[in-house]
Structure formats: C-alpha cells, structure tokens
Chain A
Amino acid sequence: MDRDEILIKNVLDGNADSFSILVQCYQNQLYKFLYKLTMSKEDTEDILQEVFIRVYNNLYKYSSRWSFSTWLYSIAVNVFKSHYRKKKYDEHNNIHPEELDVLTCSIIDYPEVAYEIKEQRVLIVQLINSLKSDQKIALILKHVQGFSYKEIADILDVSPEAAKMKVQRAKQIILKKYDQLKGRGVYNEVFVQR
C-alpha cells in the first residue's frame, strides 16, 4: 500500500486526522491547477474547499484501481465545471488586473522588462481563455501537473487519443488566435527565448 492508500484506509476507519494529511499533500498542486483554470484566487479557494469536502464524503467509493491523484483531479474538474455553470459567462472570461499583478510579482524586481512581460502574460491568459472548456482543462492538466495523456484521459473520462487531441487542438487554436491578433496589429512580437 502506498501513502495515499494507507491514509484513505485510516480515514475510512474513522480517523479524520489522516484526511488532514491528505489535504496537505494535495492542496498546493490542486490550488495551482484551479488557479490556472480560473485566474481568480477567490474562485480557486471556493472550488478547492468544495473539492476536498466532496472527496471526503465520497472517499469510501474510491478504488485503488485508479490512482488517487487522477480521481482527485476528476472531482476537481467536475466541481470547476459546475461552479462556472452557475456563474455568468462574462465573468469567466474576464481577467482581473489585480490577479495578474500577483502573477508577475516574481519579475517586478526588473522594472525595465516587467511591463513587457506583463503584456505577454495578458496575451497568453487571453489566448488560453479563448479555448473551449475541455481543451483548456486538458492543456492545463498537461502542463501544470505534467500528466500523461493516459492520466488526462482517466481524469476527463475519454480515450487517451481523445485527450491528446484536445491538447493538440488547444495549442493549434492558441496559435491561430495569436495569428489573428497579430494580423490585426494588436500585439508586438513575442520572440523565442532560447
């Protein structure tokens, strides 16, 4: 039995403290995943809280046939989707400027490039936000957590080929939208950093 399985068994035996350890093991990576999806701290915290409560209430249905982390992420994806069904579409697509300040705080020490990098970031976030929900989720799973296509497939309940296709489509659409924006002269060039 691995660490997660032991903790889960403890929880099902009535030891709730073991659940606290599980949460601490996964809270940071799930936070990062949900934050990249929502680009909002507030939404991320709301969703994350609900994810862990659902995980706890449904833990007895978890089967070690699946990896615990894919099970966890599939719940996170479901909670994310239902959360945003409740919200207005507009809100979803808006980027909150204060969130981007948080994002770029690591480069604020270099004011001469900070502005340019922030511009790039706004562009990237807009491009990602222009994707369909499933493409966006697949892309983020691929790069935030480095999941394999098989794992992404398990999380999204599709075939590995379909998971791969979603990630590829996401990237193609990002490039296409970028070309369109560039064609309209909206953005300056973004050069390869080698």
Chain B
Amino acid sequence: MKCSYSAEDLIRYTEGLMCDAEKDELKKHLDICESCRSRLGILKLTEDHLKEDVSNNETMYLKVMGAIDKDRYLRKKSKYKLGAFVARMAPFIKPSAAVILILVLSLVAVTQRQHISNVMSSLGEVFSKHDNLIKDDENKNNKNSKFFTAESVTELAKGQPPGGWVLSGDSNIKDMERQVKLKFYVKPDSDPSSSKNETGEVIAYLHDCNELYDLGLVVSF
C-alpha cells in the first residue's frame, strides 16, 4: 500500500503539533499502515529511552567537594566580585569597546595609573574571554594587557558623585540593547575644559542605565 505520510508528519504528530482533524486521519491510517506504525513506534521508543530515569549513587557532591579549592572565593573575594559585575555587563559590550575603554582610561589615568590598572586588568580579563565565557579558568592568559598588569584589589561598588561635582563628559562603551557608559565627574570649578583653575580632580563611574558604579579617582591635577 502506498503511504503519503512523511517522517516530518510523524514527528509533528509525536510533538503534538497536529490539529484534531489531522490526528484523527492519521490514527485511522495507522490501523492499516504497518510502516507508519513501526516508524511511530521508533520515535516513541526513542523518547521513552531518553526519558527513563537512570540510577546513580547520588554521592557525586562528596567527590566534587573533595576536589574543589574551597578557599577560592574567600581569598580573592573582591577580584571575583568585580569579575562577576563585569561578566554581567560583558554580553552587552562589544570587544572593540574594550579597546576604546582602555584608550580613554590610559589617557585619563595620569596619576592614578595603579588604581585604574586594577580595574582594567579585571575588565580586560573578561573582555578577552567575552566570546568564550566558560573556557577553563586555568588556561587563561590575562596578563597580556599593553597597559596594565596589576592584580585586581578593587571592589566595584555602587556610588554617587559628591555634592556639587558635575558631569564633565561621558563615553559610550557600546552595547546593543542597553547603555553602558563611562562617566567622568569633576570637582566643582575644576573642569579642565571650562575652568581656569590649575588643579582639579576627576572621578569615573560606570553607568549601566540604572546605577553608577564607582571606579574611583582617576585624575587629580
């Protein structure tokens, strides 16, 4: 007997994608078509096989706990917190933005190089692995930044500029769905672009649309 049902039809049936009329028609057909019966049987057996529970001794966690470095997150708490923050942002930031950010910061960071470097080494670490977030941590090579090499010691915390400080400029560090900005606030009457004062200070913040995160004092002149 000639059969008009394709593999796709049978798959649609097992996935519940047929309308009632189609289903009824196929069910009638199954009574007379051995080929469709057995093909449908294979699909069902495949699902059953995959769904069937597997017994295991459920003590995996003991082996795992014996194998991990339990102090990992105690030792370098702040580094990983910063890493966690940036990882949250990373999907929005294109790798090229990292380059821009490094350039901006390397220009601004005249006196506070060390502090910026702490932030940047963590940023760079994440950006460089942006496409491969789950690559093994041990294989990383994150000490190759042209500008900075320091180990991170800084925790990135929410912050607000001090009263009276004004926004001097901001730099979009690129995203597709959400704004992520680098914002620079200057001390009252010390904006280098408008004030005649010889001295001043600049604090940088990362702005992720809702919150400002303190990057700290980046320039004092």
Contacts and interface: CB of A to CB of B under 8 A. Distances in A.
Interface of A: 11-14, 16, 19-20, 23-24, 27-28, 31-32, 35-36, 41, 44-45, 48-49, 52-54, 56-65, 71, 74-75, 78, 102-103, 106, 120-121, 124-125, 127-128, 139-140, 143-144, 168, 171-172, 174-176, 178-179, 182, 189-193
Q: Secondary structure of the A side of the interface?
A: helix
B42 A61 contact: no
A172 B11 contact: yes
Given A23-B60, A49-B60, A52-B64, A63 B42 contact: no
Contacts of A14: 71, 73-74, 77
Interface residues of B, number: 54
B124 to A, nearest CB: 14
Given A12-B73, A19-B65, A24-B61, A54 B136 contact: yes
A190 B38 contact: yes
Contacts of B49: 36, 121, 124-125, 128
A173 B47 CA distance: 15
8 A-B pairs closest in CB distance:
A14-B74, A60-B80, A143-B50, A16-B70, A23-B61, A61-B87, A190-B41, A52-B64
Contacts of A178: 38-39, 42
**Residue picked from B60, B71, B136, B138, most chain A C-beta under 10 Å:** B60
A120 B88 CA distance: 47
Nearest to B11: A171
A14 B75 CA distance: 8
12 contacts: A16-B70, A23-B61, A24-B58, A36-B50, A44-B56, A58-B136, A75-B134, A143-B51, A171-B46, A172-B11, A175-B10, A191-B38
A27 B60 contact: yes
A165 to B, nearest CB: 12
Nearest to A36: B50
Interface of B: 7-8, 10-11, 30, 34, 37-47, 49-56, 58, 60-61, 63-65, 67-74, 77, 80-81, 83-84, 87-88, 90-91, 126, 133-134, 136-138
